[in-house]
A and B are shown apart, each in its own frame.
Chain A
């Protein structure tokens, strides 16, 4: 809680410095809008921003959810099959270096101008983080524990479910923290390419009319949304894996 307060104080001083600098050097608002004007723009049409933010949120969560489901599934297949590890995994690692943003126009051609292509782009950008981190997690089981599972005559499925999967959870959450931000990037990119809704659309159309205050206002809403999503995953992590070292607040003596 104390950390959150400090962060808020830092943010407030940045805004204050920004406001003072803009006024002191009389920067044109179209170049750099002072925070007061940004907040005014935000306050004037708050419902309208919220409406677009809602659309972007749904698209982001859609891409993220697909990335988690398919990413984990793919990771399990890769870890369980040596053939798939040599083929698909190598391919995935290779494909990851292709800038996925460049593929966005293709999705519009394939899937139209609705929410689907944006969700698809979000999925595509986010899924790599999930696959790579989950594979890492599933493989991070100490050899002793795998021997233990064998000595208990545990089959592959039982070992996967009772040993590998719980062991991979910390990595999966690390992957999800990255993936949620990437899904948001994907959603915005999708809205840039073609959209009548969402914060990406707000930014692009405001840019067309040189309405810098609106651009900043939308970016600010995006920032808040991104932080809230990240925080929600951190909260889920705390609830799901309270046993993990990263979650330890103190070391009780025993």
Chain B
């Protein structure tokens, strides 16, 4: 289905400090992401995982090291980038269909052509019939589905998701995980998915990149060897549980989880 090749990402010695005081958000981050891979970036709040995503997106300038997408150093948002934010970032004044066409409008593309693609994506997420609805009339889950469709409408080579389901209730979140997996299996983009949910990271990722708290470094990269499509019940399986307990032990070693006071 995807006409364009997916992007590969190379992060080399990435460092990012903020402000005069030089608060270090990221330090010595090395990461290679192969095309079409789904990588979950997992860590506690404020560990710099969103900063990593923003550096890949070209929204932040690295203080040191480099990020390349398809071999080109990122200094501004690369072409063929789709992004999904924690708050859906939908435009309240545009209908669902027009929200989906925003990327097309920004590159002054052909709306008519894009409409078919938009309809196809809406059908994939069960939103057909909502084309002319305004975001204010949608539930949180539906809004985030629209945001996901918008990120995919221009057939991106790279999809960056910054805690996209963090604001949703647990049930909706599970549903969105299933749908995201289905869309990824259909479209096979390179995805970098930032989350603070261990379960979500394992369920979705080919690999899980675990971050330490400030300054953000990579503690471990774990390959997730679970067959796809993954079903929710898989989360109770022995292998899944052992991945989860391993990651939890990493967080315990960092002093983030303490069971005994």
Looking at A142, A147, A245, which has the most chain B CB atoms within 10 Å of its CB? A147
Q: A153-B76, A153-B79, A166-B91 are in contact. Are A148 and B85 (CB under 8 A)?
A: yes
Cβ 8 A contact of A147, one of B59, B134, B138: B59
Q: Are B57 and A151 in contact (CB under 8 A)?
A: yes
Q: Are A254 and B137 in contact (CB under 8 A)?
A: yes
Cβ 8 A contact of B137, one of A152, A166, A252: A252
Q: Are A162 and B92 in contact (CB under 8 A)?
A: no
Q: Are A158 and B106 in contact (CB under 8 A)?
A: yes
Q: Are B136 and A144 in contact (CB under 8 A)?
A: no
Cβ 8 A contact of A162, one of B79, B83, B85, B102: B102
Chain B 54-89 near chain A by CB (<8 Å), digits 1 or 0: 100111000000000000000011010101011101
Kindly provide the distance from the CB of B213 to the nearest chain A CB, expressed in whole angstroms.
23
Nearest A residue to B76 via CB reads A153
Q: Which of A115-165 contact B (CB under 8 A)?
A: 142, 144-145, 147-154, 158, 162-163
> Is residue A169 contacting chain B, with contact meaning CB distance below 8 A?
yes
> Is residue A241 contacting chain B, with contact meaning CB distance below 8 A?
yes
Kindly provide the distance from the CB of A153 to the nearest chain B CB, expressed in whole angstroms.
6
Inter-chain contacts of B136 with A (CB < 8 A): 243, 245, 248
Inter-chain contacts of A244 with B (CB < 8 A): 92-93
> Is residue A30 contacting chain B, with contact meaning CB distance below 8 A?
no
Chain A 233-254 near chain B by CB (<8 Å), digits 1 or 0: 0000000011111001001101
Q: Are B142 and A169 in contact (CB under 8 A)?
A: no
Looking at A148, A153, A242, A245, which has the most chain B CB atoms within 10 Å of its CB? A148
Q: How far is the CA of A231 from the CA of B86 in the complex (A)?
A: 39
Q: Are A149 and B85 in contact (CB under 8 A)?
A: no
> Is residue B107 contacting chain A, with contact meaning CB distance below 8 A?
yes
> Is residue B252 contacting chain A, with contact meaning CB distance below 8 A?
no
Q: How far is the CA of A245 from the CA of B79 in the complex (A)?
A: 35
Q: Are A154 and B89 in contact (CB under 8 A)?
A: no
Inter-chain contacts of B133 with A (CB < 8 A): 254
Q: Are B89 and A144 in contact (CB under 8 A)?
A: yes
Inter-chain contacts of B86 with A (CB < 8 A): 144
Inter-chain contacts of B76 with A (CB < 8 A): 153
Nearest B residue to A240 via CB reads B93
Cβ 8 A contact of B93, one of A149, A152, A169, A251: A169
Inter-chain contacts of B91 with A (CB < 8 A): 145, 163, 166
Looking at B136, B138, B139, B160, which has the most chain A CB atoms within 10 Å of its CB? B136
Q: How far is the CA of A245 from the CA of B133 in the complex (A)?
A: 14
Q: What number of B residues sit within 8 Å (CB to CB) of A? A: 32
Nearest A residue to B84 via CB reads A148
> Is residue B225 contacting chain A, with contact meaning CB distance below 8 A?
no
Q: Are A147 and B106 in contact (CB under 8 A)?
A: no
Inter-chain contacts of A154 with B (CB < 8 A): 106
Kindly provide the distance from the CB of B239 to the nearest chain A CB, expressed in whole angstroms.
36
Nearest A residue to B54 via CB reads A147
Q: Are A149 and B106 in contact (CB under 8 A)?
A: yes
Q: How far is the CA of A16 from the CA of B215 in the complex (A)?
A: 75
> Is residue B220 contacting chain A, with contact meaning CB distance below 8 A?
no
Kindly provide the distance from the CB of A144 to the nearest chain B CB, expressed in whole angstroms.
4
Q: How far is the CA of A241 from the CA of B133 in the complex (A)?
A: 14
Q: Are B77 and A153 in contact (CB under 8 A)?
A: yes
Inter-chain contacts of B142 with A (CB < 8 A): 254
> Is residue B103 contacting chain A, with contact meaning CB distance below 8 A?
yes
Q: A153-B107, A166-B93 are in contact. Are A243 and B79 (CB under 8 A)?
A: no
Cβ 8 A contact of B106, one of A153, A242, A245, A248: A153
Q: Are B59 and A254 in contact (CB under 8 A)?
A: no
Inter-chain contacts of A169 with B (CB < 8 A): 93
Q: Are A152 and B106 in contact (CB under 8 A)?
A: yes
Q: Are A162 and B137 in contact (CB under 8 A)?
A: no
Kindly provide the distance from the CB of B164 to the nearest chain A CB, expressed in whole angstroms.
11
Q: How far is the CA of A147 from the CA of B142 in the complex (A)?
A: 21
Report B's interface with A, CB cutoff 8 A.
54, 57-59, 76-77, 79, 81, 83, 85-87, 89, 91-94, 102-103, 105-107, 130, 133-139, 142, 160
A142-B87, A144-B89, A254-B139 given; 15 more Cβ-contact pairs under 8 Å:
A145-B89, A145-B91, A151-B57, A152-B77, A152-B107, A153-B76, A154-B106, A169-B93, A241-B93, A243-B93, A243-B134, A243-B135, A243-B136, A254-B130, A254-B138
Name 10 A/B residue pairs within 8 A (Cβ), A-sorted. Answer: A144-B87, A145-B89, A145-B91, A148-B89, A150-B59, A153-B107, A162-B105, A166-B91, A167-B93, A254-B139
In the A-B complex, the 5 residue pairs with the closest CB atoms: A144-B89, A152-B106, A151-B83, A144-B85, A166-B93
Report A's interface with B, CB cutoff 8 A.
142, 144-145, 147-154, 158, 162-163, 166-167, 169, 241-245, 248, 251-252, 254
